[in-house]
Amino acid sequence: MPYTTYHLASFVGGLLSVILRAMLTLKSLKLKTAIMQSPMAGCTDLAFRLVARKYGMEFAFSEMISADALVRANKKTLALLKRHPQDTPLGVQLVGSNPNIMAEAAIMVESLGFDLLDINLGCPVRKVVAPGGGSALLREPNKARIIFQAMIKKIKKIPLTAKMRIGFQDPTGQEAIRIAKHAEAEGLAAVTIHGRTREQGYSGKSDWQAIARVKQAISIPVIGNGDITTASDALEKKTISHCDGLMVARGALGNPWLYQNIDSLLRHGHKLPPPDANERKKAALLHLKYERDFEGEKIAVLKLRSILAWYFKSYPNASVFRSQIHQAKSTKALRSLIEEFNY
């Protein structure tokens, strides 16, 4: 093979390898990037997702859904599943502990046209853990396996995954490894590992060495989660864990540019320039519009008092702005505060 042809083939092969590593395939779901948005109660609503998609987010989850409430057709729960033609691909995460109810809810989720279904084994909140859901299942691997079996039998088209913490109290990752092996054996498409224990809650640091141990123990894709707030965080944590994908959570609040920045660094080796204050205002105003359009004036005002603070938290006048928005009574007043924000 001529020298130039050989090097061209090597270059193309290397480029293809980088692109493939930057992609993520979960059975029928093929993503162009390996970056996902975590489900977050009170945060990842339709407005949040549409704003994030405009700035580069590819895949997201709705807010966490109670399987029991979904099966009962609870109005508030059904409202969390609001869709939009531009809001795709989209996953749903179910939380619960009864295998039959989880299976019934799985049928409902798939019938509604969502692209992926995830099982929550990580929520640390007492009201979820007390009845045996969320991270409580980390202490009951056999029960978790029964839930996996019940749900995988009902899912016909979309991938089924599970998201968990590294352990309930044990920080070594052994509890997560046991559950992850069950997930693999029962045919789940992937697992997501948050690098904290239930006991930690959201305090302390996420342990990506423990995530790496889970990655080494199974062959299905492992998605890492915890403390990804910058592109540099993402690169560091992917290097430590060798995970197949990354899931961002709180780092994307008020920062819809994070997804593209991570993808640029992982795929091309360079970061994108940070958004200026005017670009932040533009995104915040769009978020305000969507919340008002989808939630109505009253609920939008209540939700936006927290949401809008995310966009300007790094600016010197952020505390003053936060105080002002908490006193606002209308979306019109909130819009004026954004437009007049002095950075």
Distance of CA 79 to the CA centre of its chain: 19
CATH 3.20.20.70 domain extents, the chain: 10-268
Distance of CA 5 to the CA centre of its chain: 42
The model's pTM is 0.91
Closest by alpha carbon to 334, among 29, 180, 311, 343? 311
For residue 18, what pLDDT is reported? 41
- Residue 209 backbone phi and psi in degrees, to 5: -70, -40
Q: Indicate the pLDDT class of residue 22, thresholds 50, 70 and 90.
A: confident
Q: Average of pLDDT values for 224-239?
A: 97
* Vertex 198 angle, CA 306 and 120, to 5°: 75
DSSP 91: E
Q: Which helix (H) or strand (E) element contains residue 30?
A: strand 29-31
Q: Indicate the pLDDT class of residue 315, thresholds 50, 70 and 90.
A: confident
For residue 4, what pLDDT is reported? 54
pLDDT at residue 21 is higher than 90 = no
Exposure string for 150-187, b = 16+ CB within 10 A, e = fewer: bbbebbeebbbbbbbbbbbebbebebbbbbbbbbbebe
Q: What is the CA radius of gyration of the chain?
A: 21
DSSP 93: E
Whether 43 is catalytic:
no
Cβ-proximal residues to 166 (8 Å cutoff; 6+ apart), any chain: 172, 173, 175, 176, 193, 194, 195, 196, 197, 207, 210, 211, 214
The two three-digit tokens of residue 123, written as one number = 């929520």
CATH 1.10.1200 domain extents, the chain: 277-340
Catalytic residue, chosen from 123, 128, 180, 220, is 123
pLDDT by residue (tens digit) across 331-343?
999 999 999 988 7
**Percent of the chain surpassing pLDDT 90:** 87
Rounded Cα distance, 2 and 10, in Å:
12
pLDDT at residue 231 is higher than 50 = yes
Contact (CB, 8 A) for 34 and 264: no
pLDDT by residue (tens digit) across 136-176?
999 999 999 999 999 999 999 999 999 999 999 999 999 99
pLDDT by residue (tens digit) across 275-288?
998 999 999 999 99
For residue 14, what pLDDT is reported? 39
Q: Average of pLDDT values for 115-139?
A: 97
Q: Classify domain 277-340 by CATH architecture.
A: Orthogonal Bundle (1.10)
For residue 20, what pLDDT is reported? 40
Topology of 10-268 in CATH?
A: TIM Barrel (3.20.20)
